[in-house]
Amino acid sequence: MISQVGTSNDTNRLALKYHRVKAEMLARIADGLWSPSMAISSELDLCEEFGVSRITVRRAISDLVHDGKLQTVQGKGTFVTKPKLQERFVQRASGFYEDMERRGLQPQTVILRQDTIPAPSDVALHLGQSVGERVHVIVRTRAVRYETILVSTTYIPALLCPDLMGHDLAAGSLYRLLRQDYGLKIARGERSLEAVAAGPWEARVLDVALASPLLRLDSVAYRADGQAFEYSQALHRGDRARIEVEFFPSLRRGLKRCAVGRAQSGHV
């Protein structure tokens, strides 16, 4: 009969070895010894270096892949992933460009389309307009450190800013331009988040594989008088974006739900 005490001790020793190996691998990533996109040592080399079994090394690697720290490419090896760009999904009246500026980053914008069109039915519904009313449409990619992170499509009623298409919309924050030149300030906003798969166009624009996971964020910004002045759809690369959600207790007594994902920010 196998001693339960002996079995327990063996399990504990294996767990300690696994945690030690995983902690050391994490430290190498954090310290930059294993830099982003770098191929890590082979499983056999790691077994010899740490003095553990291949099962222990594989478990540590598998967990780090699950945590998004490593990526295994069939036939090529295991690589350190690039850190994900974090966006704060909070009650803040600003957009992607201004959010990146606050972090000391200079985002790059490429305009794919800049036009004035009759509002399609779904756009008219979000903006509180009649179908066919004129709206400005702006399609842009947004990049950080010259790596494309998202592509966004923004609609703005043309009546509120007739000459908007004459501006250089790649030069900075569109929200800032709307605020300073047209007096369009956000009083409140709505935003929804869902997971979608990249179609052929999204895959090409974002430089990802077809059907890659994307995060779609739809947002509507409203003025103080309740009129919607901006509706946007942003598709974020799932492998490069991480959304932070801040929530607050409800102000209504006895209501236990929290205000989650109700944001006053957009992608402009």
Instruction: Kindly tell me the sign of the dihedral angle through the C-alpha atoms of 154, 243, 106, 203.
Output: negative
Q: Does residue 268 lie in a domain region?
A: no
Q: Residue 10: which domain range? A: 4-80
pLDDT band at 89 (very low <50, low <70, confident <90, very high): very low
Instruction: Kindly tell me the sign of the dihedral angle through the C-alpha atoms of 225, 226, 228, 234.
Output: positive
Q: Quick one: pLDDT at residue 264? A: 36
pTM of the model: 0.63
Query: What's the number of domains the chain is made of?
Result: 2
Whether residue 67 is found in the same domain as residue 126? no
Whether residue 48 is found in the same domain as residue 90? no
| Range picked from 4-8, 37-41, 66-70, 87-91 for highest mean pLDDT | 37-41
Whether residue 75 is found in the same domain as residue 174? no
152 token code pair: 């966004």
Whether residue 40 is found in the same domain as residue 152? no
Whether residue 64 is found in the same domain as residue 111? no
Rounded CA gap, 46 and 53, in Å?
Answer: 9
Average pLDDT for 60-86: 81
Q: Does residue 121 lie in a domain region?
A: yes
- Kindly list the distances between the CA atom of residue 228 and the CA atoms of 62, 131, 138, in Å, as whole numbers in the listed order: 47, 15, 17
Q: Of 83, 90, 77, 95, which is closest to residue 29 (Cα–Cα)? A: 83
Q: Quick one: pLDDT at residue 181? A: 95
Q: Residue 257 pLDDT > 50, yes or no?
A: no
Instruction: Kindly tell me the sign of the dihedral angle through the C-alpha atoms of 60, 63, 67, 73.
Output: positive
Instruction: Kindly tell me the sign of the dihedral angle through the C-alpha atoms of 121, 126, 129, 135.
Output: negative
Whether residue 65 is found in the same domain as residue 119? no
Whether residue 144 is found in the same domain as residue 237? yes
Q: Residue 34 pLDDT > 70, yes or no?
A: yes
Q: Quick one: pLDDT at residue 252? A: 54
Between 4-31 and 43-50, two packed helices, what is the crossing angle to 10 degrees?
A: 110
pLDDT band at 63 (very low <50, low <70, confident <90, very high): confident
Q: Residue 22 pLDDT > 90, yes or no?
A: no
Bigger pLDDT: 13 or 200? 200
Sorted by sequence, the CB contacts under 8 Å of residue 242 that are 6+ apart come out as 84, 85, 86, 87
Average pLDDT for 221-237: 94
Per-residue pLDDT tens digits for 127-166 = 999 999 999 999 999 888 788 989 999 999 999 999 999 9
Average pLDDT value over all residues in the chain: 82
Count Cβ atoms within 10 A of the Cβ of residue 31 and give its class: 0-12 exposed, 13-18 middle, 19 or more buried: exposed
Of 30, 52, 80, the last residue of a domain is: 80
Is the CB of residue 45 less than 8 Å from the CB of residue 77?
Answer: no
Q: Quick one: pLDDT at residue 238? A: 87
